Structure 1
Amino acid sequence: MEDTKPPEYWQGVWKRVVVVGGGVAGSLLAKSLQFHADVTLIDPKDYFEIPWASLRSMVEPSFAERSVIYHRDYLTNGRIIVSKAVDIVNSQVLTADGRLIAYDYLVIATGHDDCLPQTRSERLKEYKSENEDIKASDSILIVGGGPTGVELAAEIAVDFPEKRVTLVHDGSRLLEFIGLKAANKTLEWLKSKKVEVKLQQSIDVDNISTGSKTYKTSGGETIKADCVLLCTGKQPGSAWLSETMLKGSIDGLGRLKVDENLRVKGCKNIFAIGDITDIKASYLGQKHALVVAKNVKLLLGGGKESKMSAYKPKSFQVIVSLGRNDAVAQHPLTTIIGLVPGLIKSRDLYVGKTRKQLGLDPRQVDS
């Protein structure tokens, strides 16, 4: 367990900011506030992972050396508690190991409900194991045709063209979160790489038995596969909040309801950022973090609430990586597929850019 503490002179001098969740949003927020407040980051892992790099790490495990980052490497002036938050009581957060962490300002950034190893070394071993499974398989079944399923199918098809890849998706088209034109271009690209795509069909993932290599779709088709990779949607990481003082602020989809300043509705000193909120996040978690960092700094300095920044969702560019060289990009006025959007995202998957944002060497491999 890691528990790094700020200098003693902080104690009782600076306001206390507690960030629960060390994902893409929470890590950037903690880093942004660490020299403005007594910051504590609570996360069940000792590392931050750049999420959009995870699929490349499955086909190239060494890629994870730069994308899986110790919290201590970017949070040099704060406290890190490697544990789960389990309750919020009287301006304190209770952790699974029994600690009560007091706060003046609280930020919830627990994203999606992921089951990941506690340590960076275990996560790197996991990628090596997944890579070995892919290499040992002649046929691979991917369940889910959202961005994760599509990008994983593309990564495997490009790096292992000899593999037989089948993607099953229960929707009428791939990538329902973007336009039809971009989805159709993506489908044609996958077909050109010999990925077999089955739409409007599902696999009963709850009844997939270990060792089985034959799978039935809802359409009655039989698929043989040596390896199955599940890329279906994840639940928001809000289950721990259901019995806390914030239980009335959770919507029917398990997300926290926030106002334009990204404060949890009805709360003066509690914010929420990233995929845990009812404002579309995914690619925008970092933008949430920067807005809240600005607002908390304002409040820490005695500024008026009326001067807080509002988060304003805008139409934005979406880029879905298709292997190492290609991508599909949806802009407000046009859709492009191929090498041009690939140059923007697919080569490095924004890993260098994200590391730089955290104050780290873009090229360095962490030890």
Structure 2
Amino acid sequence: MAKKSWMEKPAELGGGGGRRVVVIGGGVAGSLIAKSLQFNADVTLIDQKEYFDIPWASLRSMVEPSFAERSVINHRDYLTNGRLVVSRAINITNSEVLTAEGRLVAYDYLVIATGHDDPLPKFRNERLAEYQEDNEKIKAARSIVVVGGGPTGVELAAEIAVDFPEKKVTLVHDGPRLLEFIGPKASNKTLDWLKTKNVDVKLQQSIEMDRSSDGSNAYITSSHEKIEADCHFLCTGKPLGSAWLKETILKDSMDNFGRLKVDDNLRIKGHKNIMAIGDITDIKGVKQGYFAQKHALIAAKNIKIMMDGEKETKMAIYKPHSIKVIVSLGRQDAVAQFPFTTLIGLVPGMIKSKDLFVGKTRKKMGLDPHIVHY
């Protein structure tokens, strides 16, 4: 008798008459949709790690490790009525997900929310230890190179410059201006702000990290400029978490950049019961946590409508929003681009920079926004 393939085996997990929802990816979007549906459906969250790390809080956690106590959240804390499978998804069919350990998880509705490929440790205490190590690295250094002038690099350079003004910070970016995803006015204001904090910004230069140091503290840029620094942090873009989908039933549902093509209801084109949310979608516009949360809430609403057998005309439509971006600059200041104006300083800083929306995000996840005891 021929050996059955994994696609023919009965699923190990699931039950619940048409209401089995599987979410792959426990980042900003995936964690919120799992939390939102756990009392309406039989929810299983598949994630490579046991926690949700609020991404826009990570840079503050590097300069202040205790900040991570509130921003690194065990999935179990908010997912009180769902299953958690700590593993990597490696394949999917029209009804099941296969994990790296060989576990099969059956679904009626599937949500892909794998965002960007970021190799984080499996356990929360390991992630907290990483922040502690980064903090010690910053404290021990007299001079630091930050590579990458997107929001991550800019925010990290600003955090270090504000908390450790005695340290020499150099920001190296290969583009013509900082924060290229927003307007030049915001870029210029940010550059001026960094200069006031004595951050040395080098534009249109790169550093080949594998050849950057010969054991000395010298980093050589593409313009053959030598930068003396005790350590560096790499803040360049991470690849999309979609490479694993290239051999699955969704291989024809990706664009040339590896993003999943979705319709107005956030369903993957050609699949009525599979949705994609967050950074992995081909939705035009800035990829931001705020928009990923919007995706999650709209997709959750649409899954409820489908589970209840209501007409598709009732499904919510996701409309890309006008650009509204706030990039924090240390503990008090920020640069903000709104549809009709660009601001920098304390006013936008009051919106984001003090708490970095951590309390607000915890509240959205049904958790105490202020104090956490572990």
TM-score range, shorter chain: over 0.9
- Decide whether the 8 Å contact of 2:213 with 2:219 is kept in 1: no
Q: 2:355 aligns with which of 316, 341, 348?
A: 348
Whole-angstrom CA distance in 2 between matches of 1:211 and 1:326: 37
**For the structure 1 residues 28 and 212, does the alpha-carbon distance in structure 2 shift closer, same or farther, using more than 3 Å as the test?**
farther
Q: 2:288 aligns with which of 282, 302, 307?
A: 282
Secondary structure of the residue aligned to 1:242 is helix
What residue number does 1:271 align with? 275
**For the structure 1 residues 213 and 329, does the alpha-carbon distance in structure 2 shift closer, same or farther, using more than 3 Å as the test?**
same
**For the structure 1 residues 97 and 211, does the alpha-carbon distance in structure 2 shift closer, same or farther, using more than 3 Å as the test?**
farther
**For the structure 1 residues 90 and 159, does the alpha-carbon distance in structure 2 shift closer, same or farther, using more than 3 Å as the test?**
same
Greater CA drift, 327-336 or 33-42? 327-336
Secondary structure of the residue aligned to 1:352 is helix
- Structure 1, residues 106-147: CA drift from partner, whole Å, max 9, x if none? 000000000100000000000000100000000100000000
**Are 2:257 and 1:250 aligned?**
no
What residue number does 1:48 align with? 52
What residue number does 1:299 align with? 306
**Offset at 1:11?**
3.5
Secondary structure of the residue aligned to 2:247 is coil
**Offset at 1:13?**
4.0
- Decide whether the 8 Å contact of 2:16 with 2:42 is kept in 1: no
Whole-angstrom CA distance in 2 between matches of 1:314 and 1:35: 29
Greater CA drift, 239-248 or 18-27? 239-248
Q: 1:314 aligns with which of 314, 317, 321?
A: 321
- In structure 1, give the amino acid aligned to 2:229: A
- Decide whether the 8 Å contact of 2:94 with 2:249 is kept in 1: no
- Decide whether the 8 Å contact of 1:191 with 1:197 is kept in 2: yes
Secondary structure of the residue aligned to 2:267 is coil
**Offset at 1:304?**
1.5
**Offset at 1:306?**
2.4
**Offset at 1:342?**
0.5
- In structure 2, give the amino acid aligned to 1:112: H
- Give the alignment's Cα RMSD to 1 decimal: 1.2
What residue number does 2:240 align with? 236
**Offset at 1:317?**
1.8
Secondary structure of the residue aligned to 2:122 is coil
Q: 2:111 aligns with which of 87, 107, 114?
A: 107
Whole-angstrom CA distance in 2 between matches of 1:13 and 1:290: 23
**Are 2:336 and 1:329 aligned?**
yes
Structure 2 unaligned spans of 5+: 1-13
Whole-angstrom CA distance in 1 between matches of 2:56 and 2:134: 17
Aligned 1:4-43 pairs, distance under 5 A: 11-13=15-17, 15-43=19-47
Secondary structure of the residue aligned to 2:146 is strand
- In structure 2, give the amino acid aligned to 1:297: K
What residue number does 1:152 align with? 156
Secondary structure of the residue aligned to 1:336 is strand
**Are 2:367 and 1:360 aligned?**
yes
- In structure 2, give the amino acid aligned to 1:132: E
**Offset at 1:215?**
1.1
Whole-angstrom CA distance in 1 between matches of 2:40 and 2:358: 26
- In structure 2, give the amino acid aligned to 1:282: Q
Whole-angstrom CA distance in 2 between matches of 1:295 and 1:61: 38
What residue number does 2:7 align with? none
Whole-angstrom CA distance in 2 between matches of 1:147 and 1:90: 38
- In structure 2, give the amino acid aligned to 1:15: R
Whole-angstrom CA distance in 1 between matches of 2:194 and 2:264: 39
Whole-angstrom CA distance in 2 between matches of 1:81 and 1:212: 44
**Offset at 1:31?**
0.3
**Are 2:169 and 1:165 aligned?**
yes
**For the structure 1 residues 364 and 107, does the alpha-carbon distance in structure 2 shift closer, same or farther, using more than 3 Å as the test?**
same
- Structure 1, residues 210-248: CA drift from partner, whole Å, max 9, x if none? 844211111110111111100001110001111111011
- Decide whether the 8 Å contact of 2:18 with 2:108 is kept in 1: no
**For the structure 1 residues 297 and 162, does the alpha-carbon distance in structure 2 shift closer, same or farther, using more than 3 Å as the test?**
same
**Offset at 1:209?**
5.2
- Decide whether the 8 Å contact of 2:212 with 2:218 is kept in 1: no
Between the aligned residues of both structures, percent identity stands at 72
Stretches of 4+ aligned residues off by more than 3 angstroms? 10-14, 206-212
What residue number does 2:77 align with? 73
What residue number does 1:182 align with? 186
- Decide whether the 8 Å contact of 2:326 with 2:352 is kept in 1: yes
Aligned residues: 358
- In structure 1, give the amino acid aligned to 2:288: S
Secondary structure of the residue aligned to 1:223 is strand
- Decide whether the 8 Å contact of 2:205 with 2:221 is kept in 1: yes
**Are 2:264 and 1:260 aligned?**
yes
- Decide whether the 8 Å contact of 2:150 with 2:178 is kept in 1: yes
Greater CA drift, 169-178 or 274-283? 274-283
